[in-house]
Amino acid sequence: MTDVNASVSPAGNRPADKQPRPFSAEDEVALRESLKRCSSATLEAALKFLKTGDVEPLPTVVIGVIERFVDPDLRPKLQEGNDELRLIEDLGIDSLTMMEIVILVEETLRMTINNDELRNLRTVGDIKVFIDCKARGLPPPQPAKFLPIEQIAAVMPIQPPFLFLNEASISSTHASAKYKITGEEFFLKGHFKNNPVLPASIMLEALGQLAVLYLLEGFEPTEAGKVVNAEQIFFTGCEGVRAHRVCRPGDVLSLSIRPKRAKMPLATFEGAIRVGQEKTAIAEEITLTFGLKDAPAPAAAPEAEASAASGGAGGAAPASVVAPASPATTGTTSSSSPTA
Amino acid sequence: MAGRVFITGLGLITSIGNDVPSVTAALRELRHGIQLYPPFAGDDVPVKVAAPVRGFDTASNDPEDWTYPDAYRIRREVIRGMAPHGLYAWCAMQQAITDAGLGEADFANNPDTGLYAASGGSPQLMGYMLGRMHQLGVMRCSPLGIVAAISGTLNFNLVAHFKIKGASCGFSSACASSAHALGYAYDDLVLGRAKRMFVVGAEDGNVDSILPFAGMRALSLQRDPALASRPFDAARDGFVGTGGAAVLVLETEDEVQRRGAPVYGEVAAWGQASDGHNVAISHPEGEGLALAMRRALQAAQLAPGDVDYINAHATSTPIGDLSEVRAIKSVFAGSGEEGGAGGRSPASPAISSTKALTGHGLSLAGAMESAFCALALREGFLPGSAHIAQLDPECAGLRILRKTVAEPPRVVLNNSSGFGGANVSVVLKRA
């Protein structure tokens, strides 16, 4: 594990145009200068990656670089290890600061990041996964899709005043959402008398709604030419539901679900709710039934289903899942797709 | 009838002091801010002295490395897009706001408050950014390199950070720049376009902003800090570079009354004219500057005899000082003739160049010296022209003050001249 490049690319996946020079003593001096305002853990992690090619320390590097640019008052948030922290809303990072972060990451990890690769990085987790893929020479995962309330309401069969998602972020493997308890919810008048508390059943409902949104926006059926029919999604069952915290007007619920199994006609999810960093509720399993319908006019994009892919930290063997999407010979991650 | 405009606040980061009291004391005691400047120590640098601001270290290209007095605290998001002179000006703005007694609502998000600024940009950061671009590639330029370096960096930063909603822009007429900023700010107030204007002049005052003047032989090669800047002296040999920032708060009469704000003095009028002569050399007879002074006095409805004091532009260059001397003689009729006791005409106002103390602040000069004039008006003294051992014979007949005197002036002129022969004269009056 001492030599630099040999061990980096397990299956020759490193992009062809990137054969970094061996890491020299001068490079180390420059690196120390670049990272002088980062934690020593950041520097050590970067050195380990550059000297051994081991990608395991990359999240430490990424967090360390972000931390260096975040207002000191907000830094403790980063230490909580919450991958759903949003760069703009939670960490106050504006687009110029984002560029400063990118340039320092580029310098540190000796990689090049294109503008169009950045556009969909909204959370700390997005960045970690993205950098992990870059370092492994893999194409970055399909970015999470962000849906503001207007878009959510446009696709959901459930509508206000019974829609409990304000904004959501959907990827093929995960969905997260926020809901702020306004105090105006009609049921709070009676739940409880003179003491408004969000019913636990509504928490479960909100997780279920996020699962519905995932089926509509994040899930791609294996059946060719079909999409999930919004009118045929129903609740089937749930297991292992526990509430840990009383939620009142003003609280912002951070909802998160992950598909465990999804195959017509059943989809099973695990779900969790936090308020800030406080564990609020979990559901070990929420199961929905769903039906399919013909996809609208232009055929659905012929993408390989990435159901298990790209979790980054999970680590199993994402290479084999994702690799077919881009022929290893031509290599570079973003060169040939004319999607812009 | 034109409205009146008053100076209600000052902020100063200068080579002779980083606040109003210490600058006032330096002007009274003729204490200069010039030193053997360590960055000029190399054998290949014939220039040895400069007048840097004290209490700040902005040598690094990375603003996060900079140090500054404890009285100020600046967040990373604010300082990251600044040049060194942006930092000086940010601090001077804080002083001026406090000095004028402005509440946040008086300036922040207030459409009646504007800001005019002048600086030469940051040669240091521009050089650094271009070096990085050529060395590391186009995409590795700091994303804030441009707004920190180019001419205009001063107004970009201050307007954003102080939430200025009224008029804003930068002025670029070299050493007349911040005098222009003051003049146009005055106009906006008189025309009712604003109720309050910040006027800001600033310069980095470091190796990259000063030394390029060596090539045109404009810098003094003196090694003695007490001799290097000596406007009107027969042996003057060039100017001494300085940096820093000066901020003036100008307000309309209505605002002054509404706020009950104490004032330093009144901006009575200003005038400008150009030499149309040479890109870098002033007109030998000071034609443009003479016309600028005449226009300023005419606009103020004053006669030359009403002027008690002129803060001259005189930078201590052989040619420039001479042009100004001739311009003054032509305006203040009779002052060129021998007369009265002491060989000077009674028509000559008192004259000094405070650049003997501060060095020459380039774009900073006009605002800084107008601030000095405001101090002279409020405190009732005339700052002397230091370091004159032997007066240039051409100055005969002019009342060049060799010492600070306790004469309260009623009317003062502040002259500024820049490259291309841009000349500005500002008239200030005791309130």
DSSP for A117-162 reads HHTT--BHHHHHHHHHHHHHTPPPPPPPEEEEHHHHHHH-S--TTS
Distance CA A192, CA A98 (A): 45
Distance CA A81, CA B407 (A): 69
- To the nearest whole Å, the CA of A270 is away from the closest chain B CA by 40
Above 0.85 for ipTM, yes or no? no
Cα A71 from chain centre: 23
C-beta of residue B286 within 8 angstroms of C-beta of residue B313: no
SS3 A248: coil
C-beta of residue B113 within 8 angstroms of C-beta of residue B198: yes
- Residue A243's identity, in one-letter code, is A
Domains (range + CATH), chain A: 25-142 (1.10.1200.10), 145-294 (3.10.129.10)
Residue A89's pLDDT band (boundaries 50, 70, 90)? confident
Q: B350-352 and B309-311 as β-strands: parallel, antiparallel, unpaired?
A: parallel
Does the CA dihedral B8-B151-B88-B72 come out positive or negative?
positive
CB atoms closer than 10 angstroms to residue B393: 7
Cα B255 from chain centre: 25
Distance CA B159, CA B248 (A): 15
| pLDDT tens-digit series, residues A31-75 | 999 999 999 999 999 999 999 988 889 889 989 999 999 988 888
- To the nearest whole Å, the CA of B76 is away from the closest chain A CA by 8
Q: Is A278 on the interface with B (CB under 8 A)?
A: no
B283 is catalytic: no
Among residues A288, A82, A339, A97, the alpha carbon closest in space to that of B144 is found at: A97
Distance CA A95, CA B129 (A): 20
- A281-289 average pLDDT score: 96
B161 is catalytic: no
Burial of B288 (0-12, 13-18, 19+ CB in 10 A): buried
Task: Return per-residue pLDDT of chain B as tens, 431 residues.
Answer: 458 999 999 999 999 999 999 999 999 999 999 999 999 999 999 999 999 999 999 999 999 999 999 999 999 889 999 999 999 999 999 999 999 999 999 999 999 999 999 999 999 999 999 999 998 888 888 889 999 999 999 999 999 999 999 999 999 999 999 999 999 999 999 999 999 999 999 999 999 999 999 999 999 999 999 999 999 999 999 999 999 999 999 999 999 999 999 999 999 999 999 999 999 999 999 999 999 999 999 999 999 999 999 999 999 999 999 999 999 999 997 644 444 444 444 579 999 999 999 999 999 999 999 999 999 999 999 999 999 999 999 999 999 999 999 999 999 999 999 999 999 999 999 99
Distance CA B411, CA B406 (A): 15
Distance CA A52, CA B209 (A): 45
pLDDT confidence of residue A194:
92
CB B77 to CB A99 under 8 A?
Answer: no
Catalytic site residue from B32, B313, B373, B395:
B313
Of the CA atoms within 13 Å of residue A150, those in its CB half-sphere come to 0
Among residues B292, B281, B291, B348, the alpha carbon closest in space to that of B321 is found at: B281
- Dihedral angle, C-alpha A183, A189, A193, A197, nearest 10 °: -40
C-beta of residue A131 within 8 angstroms of C-beta of residue A118: no
Of the CA atoms within 13 Å of residue B155, those in its CB half-sphere come to 23
% pLDDT > 70, chain A:
81
Distance CA B210, CA B224 (A): 18
Superfamily in which the B5-429 domain is placed by CATH: Thiolase/Chalcone synthase (3.40.47.10)
Catalytic site residue from B91, B175, B373, B395:
B175
| Distance (Å) of CA B54 to CA B12, B13, B28, B209 | 12, 9, 19, 17
Of the CA atoms within 13 Å of residue B338, those in its CB half-sphere come to 3
B313 is catalytic: yes
Please list every residue in chain B whose beta carbon sits closer than 8 Å to the beta carbon of residue A71.
75-77
- Residue A273's identity, in one-letter code, is I
Please list every residue in chain B whose beta carbon sits closer than 8 Å to the beta carbon of residue A99.
143
Of A37, A71, A99, the CB nearest to B143: A99
Q: B113-118 and B168-170 as β-strands: parallel, antiparallel, unpaired?
A: parallel
Q: Which residue has the tokens 């940009």?
A: B121
pLDDT confidence of residue A28:
92
Mean pLDDT of chain A: 81
pLDDT confidence of residue B122:
98
Please list every residue in chain A whose beta carbon sits closer than 8 Å to the beta carbon of residue B140.
103, 106-107
pTM, entire model: 0.76
Backbone φ and ψ of B270, nearest 5°: -150, 165
**Angle at CA of residue A97, ends A91 and A103, nearest 5°:** 125
- Is the pLDDT at A305 greater than 80? The verdict is no
- A229-244 average pLDDT score: 94
- Between A7 and B6, the higher pLDDT residue: B6
- Is the pLDDT at A137 greater than 90? The verdict is no
